[in-house]
Every structure is written in C-alpha cells, then in structure tokens.
Chain A
Amino acid sequence: MSADASDLSLVRRVQRGDKGAFDALVLKYQHKLVKLVMRYVRNPAEAEDIAQEAFIKAYRALPQFRGDSAFYTWLYRIAINTAKNAVVSRDRSPVEYDLDRNNNDESYDMQGRMKDSETPEGLVLTDEIRSTVNAAIDALPEDLRTAIVLRELEGLSYEEIAAAMDCPVGTVRSRIFRAREAIDRRLREVFEGGLGRAEELG
C-alpha cells in the first residue's frame, strides 16, 4: 500500500482544476491544522483565520507541489510559516491593554472564544458533538473500539493494528469501518436534529 495515495489522488484532481477535491482535503485536515496553529496563537478564532489563510495559500501553491513529500507535511509547513508571520505582524501592531484580564488561563480562553463572535449555541454544539462521539465510542464492542482508537489515537497502520490484535488486515479494515459507521449514525442525528439531540440519545 502506498502511503499518502488518497491525498495524492485528491491533490491531482485539484491540480486538474477540480475544486471539490480540495474541499475534501480541507475537511480532512481542518481540525489538525487549527490544533497545530494553536501552538502559536491561543485564540481559537485567530487560529481558524490563520488555518484558513494557510489552506488558501496551499491551494494557490498547489501547482508547484510535486508529491516529493506527503501532502499533509507540506500543508503543515505552510501553516506553521503562516502562523509565525501572523504572530510577528501582531507583535508589531499597537498593543491592546485588557484591564479585566487576569492570569486564569481558563478564563482567558473563554474570553478569547467569546471575542470571536462565536455564538454560545456554537460552543454548546461543539460540546454536544464531543459528548455524542465519546458516548458512541463507549458503546462500541471492545474489538471495534480498540481498532478505531489504535487508528485515530495512536496513528497505527492497518497492518500494525492487525499485528497488535492478532487478526487479518481485512478484519481491521472492517472493524474500523463498522466503528465509524456506528459513531457516524449518532453524530448525524446531532447535526440533523440540532441542539439537545445528544441528551435525548444519551
């Protein structure tokens, strides 16, 4: 199995003029990229802005991407450079003094989140998504839960998971797919039903 084949097939489509393929790449990496940028900026909204800029820069630079490295490695480099430049330009701009700010990180995080025009409903939805997924994972049979956690949390390949679980690679693929389907079924209800669905499903 060639690593990065899935990203490369999407990248090739984008390079041939298919913008929809780039949408799939953004969906796949947006959370990882925002998490990465948050090492440089603490405000989630600012991190999202920088991640957005990084994606757009990547799209414009994609004709020069030759596939020598993995797409996500290349994308991460762009994001890190964008974040560093954003920090430098922000440090040069006039300082805003916040007299009400205290040293409590959690309180500062909350201020940052509320500054970015995110609605309280949006914050609640994120928490609801998280609790729904966690509840769905807890409800999974042991073999499915182990397979999906080894894949997503530990980043193991199917072959490595097969060795760890002492089963064929095809079984690993099936277990991960069934785990995702079970979680996705409940997640879809949250997105389609809106707020409060997670508690009902609980």
Chain B
Amino acid sequence: MNEELDSQLSAMFDDELPPAECELLARRLSRDENLKARWGRYAIVGAVIRAERGVRLNAPLAGRVNAVLLAEPALAAPTAPRDRSSARLRWWQPVAGAGLAAGVAAVSILWLRSQAPSAAAPLVTQVTPPTPVTALMPAASSGQGESYVVPLPKPAAVIVPSTELANYVVAHSMFSPPVARRNLLSAFMTSEPAAAGTEDTQADVKSTAR
C-alpha cells in the first residue's frame, strides 16, 4: 500500500490532517475495506495503550451496527450540514436584499420628483387671496399716529346684542364718573372684541378716510 496514503490515514486518525485532504481521504476510507481495516487496527492500538480494561478488542460491534444500518434508509442529501462560512453568507442575504430594495425605492422617488414640476405648478398658484386684514395693514401703518392693528373680525359673531349693549353703555356713560366710565368701556372692549372690533374698525376706517 502507498506509504504516503497510510501516513495521511494516521494523521487523519489523530485529527491532524488538513480539512481538504480529509475530504479526499474520507471518501476513499468509506469505500476501501483494507484501509478501513487498518483504521480499525489503529483504534485497537490506541485502546491497548490506554489500557481500556474490560473492553473486548475484537468485539464485532462495528459489524453489528453495520448489519442494523443495512436495513435503514440512507440519509438524504439535503440534510448535509452547512459550514459556518455559508451560514455567514446567509446572514448577509436579507440585509443585502433590504439594502437593494431601499436603493430602488430611493431612485424611484428621485425619478418621480424629477417628473413632478409640471404637476406641482398649479399648486403654487393656488395661494389664498389676500384677506381684509392684509388690506387694512398698510392703511393702519400709514403714519396716522395712534392707529393700531385691528384683529380679524369673526363672521359668526353675535353683533346685535353687543351693539345694544354698546348703545346702552354709551347712553348711560354721562351719568358715570370719568374713571369708572373709562374702566367700563375698556372692560366692554375686552369682553366683546369681535363686536367692538368690527365697529371700531369701521370707525377707524372712517377716520382714516377723513
């Protein structure tokens, strides 16, 4: 028998053969009965050196196991173990897939944006029309001294009772002392901003127009 082959077999028995050589020799070992017998004798030598008392060195255990396994179906090919490097590759696959999907999504968004200006233009033109407040602002700040910014009137404000109240307050103000009259008027303006604001705005506009 080839001495180099036997030397490899001895090293393989001790787990001292490089994995690539192990693969080749394992294939040969599983088929070559002479090589397998030598392999079995290496195991016997080890058992004797370790002085494994009580163990039958010529026990037909391997033959008995082999006889039982003859009736067993051979193990299927897909169950072969995956080594760690391929497991590592499998771990990266979903990550790489997610990254690829994110890249495609980003390119799609950029492309859609580049196509968007014609569709977005009408949106820019849909600016809300100027409110009466903005129209009033230049008039209020046009240098007429005590003018101030007037709050926007609320369309749903209840004007009629407030007007009545204002008329009532004005009608009776001549009977009040000046300080109390001023306080009453300021309190009235604070509590009824909408009504007062509307009327004051009108008065202010009138005075500005004058």
Residues of A within 8 A of B (CB): 1-24, 26-32, 34-35, 38, 44, 47-48, 51-52, 55-56, 59-60, 62-63, 65-67, 109, 118, 122-123, 125-126, 129-130, 133-134, 137, 148-149, 151-153, 157-158, 173-174, 176-177, 180-181, 183-184, 187-188, 191
Q: Are B48 and A5 in contact (CB under 8 A)?
A: no
Minimal Cβ-Cβ distance residue in B for A137? B49
Task: Count CB-based A-B contacts (< 8 Å).
Answer: 208
Do A17 and B12 contact each other (CB < 8 Å), given the known contacts A5-B18, A48-B59, A52-B64?
Answer: no
Q: Are A27 and B43 in contact (CB under 8 A)?
A: yes
Q: Specify which chain A residues have a CB less than 8 angstroms from the CB of B66 in the assembled complex.
A: 19, 23, 26
Most chain A Cβ neighbours within 10 Å, of B7, B13, B45, B77: B45
User: B159-184 vs A: 1/0 string, CB under 8 Å?
Assistant: 00000000000000000000000000
Do A7 and B47 contact each other (CB < 8 Å), given the known contacts A12-B81, A17-B76, A30-B59?
Answer: no
CB distance from B175 to the nearest CB of A (A): 102
Q: Which of A11, A59, A126, A184 contacts B72 (CB 8 A)?
A: A59
A3–B14 Cα distance when bound, in Å, is 9
Q: Are A38 and B76 in contact (CB under 8 A)?
A: no
Q: Are B80 and A27 in contact (CB under 8 A)?
A: no
Q: Are B49 and A30 in contact (CB under 8 A)?
A: no
Interface of A: prevailing SS: helix
Do A28 and B65 contact each other (CB < 8 Å), given the known contacts A34-B55, A134-B48, A153-B49?
Answer: no
Q: Specify which chain B residues have a CB less than 8 angstroms from the CB of A153 in the assembled complex.
A: 49-50
CB distance from A193 to the nearest CB of B (A): 14
Instruction: Say if the beta carbon of B38 comes within 8 Å of chain A.
Output: yes
A14–B81 Cα distance when bound, in Å, is 11
A63–B13 Cα distance when bound, in Å, is 23
Q: Specify which chain A residues have a CB less than 8 angstroms from the CB of B46 in the assembled complex.
A: 31, 152
A109–B59 Cα distance when bound, in Å, is 17
Q: Are A31 and B22 in contact (CB under 8 A)?
A: no
CB distance from B11 to the nearest CB of A (A): 6
Do A177 and B10 contact each other (CB < 8 Å), given the known contacts A23-B36, A52-B65, A153-B50?
Answer: yes
Most chain B Cβ neighbours within 10 Å, of A6, A52, A62, A151: A6
Q: Are B15 and A6 in contact (CB under 8 A)?
A: yes
Most chain A Cβ neighbours within 10 Å, of B65, B77, B83: B65
Do A151 and B6 contact each other (CB < 8 Å), given the known contacts A26-B62, A56-B68, A187-B44?
Answer: no
A131–B18 Cα distance when bound, in Å, is 34
CB distance from A84 to the nearest CB of B (A): 19
Q: Are B56 and A126 in contact (CB under 8 A)?
A: yes
Instruction: Say if the beta carbon of B112 comes within 8 Å of chain A.
Output: no
Instruction: Say if the beta carbon of B58 comes within 8 Å of chain A.
Output: yes
A86–B61 Cα distance when bound, in Å, is 18
A20–B70 Cα distance when bound, in Å, is 10
Q: Are A176 and B14 in contact (CB under 8 A)?
A: yes
User: B9-39 vs A: 1/0 string, CB under 8 Å?
Assistant: 0111111111100110111011100001011
Q: Are B56 and A133 in contact (CB under 8 A)?
A: no
